[in-house]
Chains A and B, each alone.
Chain A
Amino acid sequence: MRRLALRVLSLAVLVALLQVPIGMLLDRAPFPERDAVDEGLRGTADILYFGDSVLASGYGSDLDRRSIAAMLNEQLPGHSVTLVQYAGYELEIYRAFVEYASRQPRRPRAVIVPINLRSLGPGWPFSFPLDQARLTWGDVIGLGYHRPRSTFRWTPLTRRPVPPSFPNEADRWTYHYVFPLAEEHPRLRALKDLIGTCRKSGIVPIVYVTPINVAKGARLAGSDFAAQVAREAAVCRAVGASVNEEVLDLSAFVPEEADFEAVEHLLERGRRKVAGELARVVRKKLSP
């Protein structure tokens, strides 16, 4: 039996060693978001600003096509803000980024973490297990063993559910924004972890709920829409409060329907408004 056990063990070791170059070969891809963190922390950046497509910019008739992060940079002399943004990013990947940043020789002074309420609802098929693995274990282990982990379902498959079709826009808004939200939501647990990591590493977390086109939502999905969004934002605030951290509720901060592109993407005036508010909070939290 010992002989067989030794042979099986040798096979396992051999396979484990060969798996690394194979995994790296199969899944190697640029990771510009991590590069942005590295570059920022090697340079002058002291604030990392995470975000999904809500942080994108340059719509329609915007004259100033800069992102909120760029506007914030302008309003915060003496600070340097690095934007870490990718469409679909959510709290679990932000947690991995914050843990990654906390392990760097030079850590950021603050991180800005937006919560897109839609990312807590049923219609958010995005998750980033490979990115998380690379941030947590580095490329050798993260890339090398990602496939085996997903083959055995240790990590979620990046399987996109078929988006439901809606007969009208009101139903679509209801689907994306009106849902029961509990403090135990895995992404809200990720938020707690993230705040915990910040505390341990001396990083100041600035967490806010991103603005939603509440006016349009109420017009399309009924008068209860605003109240429902407020209830969801309140759950996020409660999660923050449970770890003694304030979560800024900006869900209804941009009241004008015309300041939005689509659902929650902001036009120039909306972006400027949010940048102003965030600048105020950053100054307050980072003042000596």
Chain B
Amino acid sequence: MTFQSPQFFVFFPCVLFLYFASPPRFRNAILLVASAVFYMAWRPEYILLILFLVTVDYFVALGLVRASGTRRKLLLGFSLCSNLGLLFFYKYFAFAADVLRLFGGVLHVRLELPAWEILLPVGISFHTFQALSYTIDVYRGETPPERNYFRLALYVLFFPQLVAGPIERSSNLLPQFRGVHDFDDAAAASGLRLALWGLVKKVVIADRLAVLAEPIYADPTHYTGLALLAATYAFAFQIYADFSAYSDIAVGVARALGFRLMNNFDRPYFARSPIDFWRRWHISLSTWFRDYVYVPLGGRQGGAGVVLLTFLLSGLWHGAGWTFLMWGAYHGILVVLTRAAGRLTAWRPAPWLSGLLTFHLMLVGWVLFRASTASDAFYILSHLTAGIGSLDPFLDRQLTWFLGGLGVLALLVVDLAGSALEVRWPATLRWAGYVVGCLLVLNSRMALDVSFIYFQF
């Protein structure tokens, strides 16, 4: 089930009603069952994987409290191996086999590795990392172990953020399942407003931009110059609208139920440096890597190597492929260079200039992220500025480009206005906004059936 599917529009009101109409002691059970239904609507059997991880992490966390010394490390190691082992098997096995075959070829060794066709469980990278953070936090003594198995299961399975985040921390989410949530009219209305804005971003803006970027990126060697550049701009805003839409809907839906999820985006395209960008983009993942990889490896004292390794792992988290590794390495290098530049020179460009420069550095990264193969990425990068090229992609879809441009403008204006929009608007204006938002979503039929981009991770 996805947030923009018709089933969800029946599912969510039912959950909301049942949740608040039930006595408080049954509410977590309702959420747990609802979350299981939400996930099982896709592939029912894959819920067993999540339950396996929950079970492992539940007992490991309880064991961590009683154990000491090497036994604690062994328990943590067991949890890490179970979580990451499953992730590796489902997500990275094929890629690892490819890499081994490649190295085998270089060494003239023929490696017979199985080529399994494995369907990636949706959201596996998200819920694995969320589960891992719980065990690590318990190991560090930063969070107490959860003694209620079902509460821990709900922490991992909580449907608003199960499939594509935000990757919540146990210290934020688990305590919320212990409390009683009374229905708060204002919070629910604000949550639904945010969810509606998320839907507009996904259905009206992101999916329209996808129609522009997809055909060009599907076969980039047929294009050159302006078409490649425009498709790359379109993708940059598509992925932002798409992913931040999911986060908005997740946060909004959770808020309506009385839960606070962390903010995942903070106007990333207004960042003034690559380091600043990573403070604003997919914040729940960036902070996860900061707290569980970068800092334990030495943090600032670890130097450029640690930064590069962290970003390489972040790239790999996104996808098992060379382009994602290149994307991670590229961002690692950018961050290292930004830091070095900060030390070497006191000169700071004007905010608008640093913002523009940062955005275009990110744009290069999106080419690596979006291209199907490394050779496609190199082709696109080397032909981005190769003259005007054919104007057919624009002439064929003039209205879509125009509407896509309007969508991008709306996205930027809302980001720019920021908290200024959070004032209490007159009722007429608010209602006009809701009606227009709903009508835009309802009438934005697109030829491409585009799932949320981050579902693949």
Contacts and interface: CB of A to CB of B under 8 A. Distances in A.
A165 to B, nearest CB: 14
A1 B183 contact: yes
Interface string A1-31: 1011001100100110011001100100000
Contact of A159 (B431, B439, B441, B447): B447
A171 B449 CA distance: 30
Interface in A154-193: 154, 157, 159
A1 B442 contact: no
A56 to B, nearest CB: 27
Contacts of A22: 439, 443
Q: How large is the interface on B (under 10, 10 to 19, 20 to 34, 35 or more residues)?
A: 20 to 34
Interface stretch (A32-40, A143-151, A220-228, A239-247): A143-151
A15 B183 contact: no
B445 interface: yes
Contacts of B4: 152
A1 B192 contact: no
Contacts of A148: 442-443
Interface in B381-431: 431
Nearest to A23: B443
Contacts of B183: 1
Nearest to A26: B443
Contacts of A147: 442-443, 445
Nearest to A155: B445
Contacts of B188: 1, 4
B378 interface: no
A200 interface: no
B117 interface: no
Interface in B176-201: 183, 185, 188-189, 192
Contacts of A18: 435, 439
A153 interface: yes
B69 interface: no
A11 B434 contact: yes
B436 to A, nearest CB: 10
B20 interface: yes
Of B183, B438, B445, which is in contact with the most chain A CB atoms at under 10 Å from its CB?
Answer: B445
A159 B211 CA distance: 12
Residue from B5, B13, B203, B434 whose CB has the most chain A CB atoms within 10 Å: B434
Interface in A111-151: 147-148, 150-151
B68 interface: no
A150 B444 CA distance: 9
Contacts, number: 58
B3 to A, nearest CB: 12
Given A11-B435, A15-B435, A159-B447, A151 B185 contact: no
Contacts of A154: 6
Interface residues of A, number: 22
Contacts of B5: 152-153
B408 to A, nearest CB: 20
A152 B6 contact: yes
A151 B442 contact: yes
A3 B185 contact: yes
Contacts of A23: 443
Contacts of B192: 4, 8
B445 A151 contact: yes
Nearest to B183: A1
A15 B438 contact: yes
B185 A150 contact: no
Of the candidates B20, B189, B439, B442, the one having the most CB atoms from chain A within 10 angstroms of its own CB is B442
A157 B442 contact: no
Contacts of A3: 185
Interface string A49-63: 000000000000000
Contacts of A26: 443
A240 to B, nearest CB: 35
B89 to A, nearest CB: 32
A237 to B, nearest CB: 36
Interface in B11-53: 13, 17, 20
Nearest to A12: B438
B443 A4 contact: no
Contacts of B431: 11, 14
Contacts of B444: 151
Interface in B433-457: 434-435, 438-439, 441-449
B445 to A, nearest CB: 5
B185 A1 contact: yes
Contacts of A151: 203, 441-446
A69 to B, nearest CB: 34
Nearest to A159: B447
Contacts of A1: 17, 20, 183, 185, 188
Contacts of B447: 157, 159
A10 B439 CA distance: 14
Max chain B C-beta neighbours (<10 A), residue from A4, A14, A154, A157? A4
B379 to A, nearest CB: 21
B435 A14 contact: yes
Contacts of A8: 13, 192
Contact of A157 (B185, B434, B445): B445
A8 B189 CA distance: 9
Nearest to A145: B442
Given A1-B17, A151-B444, A157-B447, 9 more contacts: A3-B185, A8-B13, A11-B434, A15-B435, A22-B439, A147-B443, A151-B445, A152-B4, A153-B5
24 contacts: A1-B185, A3-B185, A4-B185, A4-B189, A4-B192, A7-B189, A8-B13, A11-B434, A11-B435, A14-B431, A14-B435, A15-B435, A15-B442, A18-B435, A19-B442, A22-B443, A147-B443, A148-B443, A151-B203, A151-B445, A153-B5, A153-B449, A157-B447, A159-B448
Interface of A: 1, 3-4, 7-8, 11, 14-15, 18-19, 22-23, 26, 147-148, 150-154, 157, 159
Interface of B: 4-6, 13, 17, 20, 183, 185, 188-189, 192, 203, 431, 434-435, 438-439, 441-449
